[in-house]
Amino acid sequence: MSDTELEATLTEALKEVLDPELGYNVVDLGLIYGIEVHSGQARIALTTTTRGCPATDYIREGVESCAASVGGISAAEVVMTWEPPWTPDRMSAEAKTHFGVAA
Amino acid sequence: MAAGAAYPTGSLLAPVTLAAVHLLTIGWLTLLVFGALHQFVPVIAARSQATGWPALLSLLVIVVGLAGMEAGFLALADLLAPRAIPLLPAGGTLVLAGAALAAAPIARTLWSARPLAFSARFASLGLVFLLATLGLGLTFALALAFSETIQWAAMPTDGLRLHVLSGLLGWFTLTAMGVSYRLLSMFTLAPEERGALGSAVLWLSAGGLAAAWLLGAMEASGLAVPAALSTLAYVALALGGALYLFDMGRMLRARRRPKLELNAAGAIVALAAFSLCLLGAVLATITGRLQEMAGPLGYLFVFGWLSGLGLSQLYKIVPFITWLERYGALLGKQPVPRVQDLVDERRDRPWFVLYFVAVGAGTLCAALGSTLEWRIAIGGHLLATLMIARALWLARSGKPRLVQPRPTAIGGSRSLPTTGS
């Protein structure tokens, strides 16, 4: 599988990880700021809906462990970032519909 | 209270009323606010905070101290032997020590996070007023327990006013304002940046309160204070409260999550109770009936505003903490419930409705002096509180309503962990 295909597979896999408070997956919430895969090594940029969120470590570890379980990924590194800060505008159309957020 | 003790139109200085008031303000509200601060100052300040044993020790010391104070009050009411009276200042000292122990890590976290975020400024000022409240309270305890040797003529008037001002408005309300700004913006996806209006809320409410308190302290010490200056301080304080309510309305109208969860809906009713208290206090002051209305307004303030906000936020915080403890480490490894799956809003909504209706009815009965109706309302209030406590207990001990299905194959069907209520 190419790196690009692995990135797509990884993105789909991360839809299993949810933000516990909003109860929606981190991908559609727009909390994944970037995914790069090089030779099976994944690097994921992740944010939280609010800085200092008490669930931050758990979400980071959840994303890391989910990514590492994807076939073809040999190692996964998750980097937390809050720049730029997350806003509801980052949600997918599906998530916006779920929450009633105006597009 | 449902049994007839501490009726709010009675004297606030009656020992049984003091026992009930301190059970509520220390045993319920102070412990609640400390719990909230231990959990959310790290969020507000975006810093981690080591709580651990000082938090547990402070809880024990405060509870033991409060038990001593209660025994002292009951002895003053001739319900216990007079030899228990010195337990009042002894217990008060323990409460002060316990509060200092609880406040120290919170203050340290806030100090390390300078310049402070907007909501954290309210919490910091709240801690300052806590110290003033407890310092005054301990002085009262000594004066009540040893009235033959320690006499303070201004205690029932100016002293009591300062104690109530710094406690209900400074410690509880300023902290509640800061926490509500942060929590409600977070939970309703509303913009947290409050701009110039937010600064005006902070300066007017905290500045007005500090000025009113200091001027009151000067008066209590026998110094002459121009009445216009005191009036100005109270006007600033009231204006700060009104602007806060206006700003919260503005923030909630700008939220991106249109459907309100029960915790946010409850907070809005609590804000409405605060509005009624503010309006009632202003009208009662203008018509010269503040003394007469202090009991009903105090009841609405403590139970409608402070406890209403506290209970509704606990309805989110308790399942959140439970989720972190129970499911946090499983995230990404196996299906886990959402925080909201740990509670049942449909089951619990009627109890929140009863809670606020009973508090409203109780306030009205107290204002009209209807004793029997008051006790019936308090009975409803008690039942609703017990049922909300049960819901919080079930959030910690019960089973979640549903667990999201995990897709059988990665990258397969879009069986998203998104279904829910």
Q: CA-to-CA distance for B71 and B81, rounded, in angstroms?
A: 9
Nearest to A11 by CA among A23, A24, A30: A30
Interface contact flag, B323 A20, Cβ < 8 Å: yes
A103 min Cα distance to partner chain B (Å): 10
The pLDDT score that the predictor gives to residue B351 is 98
Q: CA-to-CA distance for B33 and B243, rounded, in angstroms?
A: 23
The pLDDT score that the predictor gives to residue B206 is 96
Please, where are the H alpha helices in B146-194?
160-164, 175-188
- Choose between B147 and B262: higher pLDDT: B262
The percentage of chain B sitting over the pLDDT mark of 70, rounded to a whole number, equals 91
A6 min Cα distance to partner chain B (Å): 10
Counting every residue, how long is chain B?
421
The pLDDT score that the predictor gives to residue B403 is 59
The pLDDT score that the predictor gives to residue B49 is 62
With contacts defined as CB-CB under 8 Å, which chain B residues touch A65?
332-333
ipTM: 0.91
Work out the number of other CB atoms within 10 angstroms of the CB of residue A90: 18
pLDDT in tens, B268-317: 999 999 999 999 999 999 999 998 899 899 999 999 999 999 999 999 99
The residue extents of the domains of chain B are 293-399
Contact A66, A17 (CB under 8 A): yes
With contacts defined as CB-CB under 8 Å, which chain A residues touch B42?
52, 54
Query: Looking at residue A98, what DSSP letter applies?
Result: H
The pLDDT score that the predictor gives to residue B40 is 79
Beta bridge partners of A38: A41
Handedness of CA B384, B304, B63, B15 (dihedral sign): negative
The residue extents of the domains of chain A are 3-84
Q: Euclidean distance between the first and final Cα of chain A, in Å? A: 35
User: Side chain identity at A82, as an amino acid letter?
Assistant: W
DSSP tally for chain B: helices H, then strands E: 14, 0
Q: Which of B185, B331, B413 to mutate to test the interface with A (most CBs of A within 10 A)?
A: B331
Residue A74 touches chain B, beta carbons under 8 Å: no
Q: What is the topology classification, in CATH, of domain A3-84?
A: GMP Synthetase; Chain A, domain 3 (3.30.300)
pLDDT in tens, B151-194: 666 666 788 889 999 999 999 999 999 999 989 998 999 988 88
**Does B407 have pLDDT greater than 60?**
no
Which residues of chain A fall short of a pLDDT of 70?
103
> Any idea what the Cα angle at residue B141 is, between residues B136 and B144, rounded to 5°?
125
B385 min Cα distance to partner chain A (Å): 25
pLDDT in tens, B202-242: 999 999 999 999 999 998 888 888 999 999 999 999 999 99
Residue B253 touches chain A, beta carbons under 8 Å: no
Contact B25, B62 (CB under 8 A): no
User: Side chain identity at B385, as an amino acid letter?
Assistant: T
Give the long-range contacts of residues A22-27, CB within 8 A, separation 24 or more.
A22/A49, A22/A99, A23/B338, A23/B339, A23/B340, A23/B341, A23/B417, A23/B418, A23/B420, A24/A95, A24/A98, A24/A99, A24/B416, A24/B417, A24/B418, A25/B416, A25/B417, A25/B418, A26/A59, A26/A63, A27/A92
The stretch B132-156 carries a mean pLDDT of 81
User: Side chain identity at B58, as an amino acid letter?
Assistant: S
pLDDT in tens, B342-400: 999 999 999 999 999 999 999 999 999 888 899 999 999 999 999 999 999 999 987 77
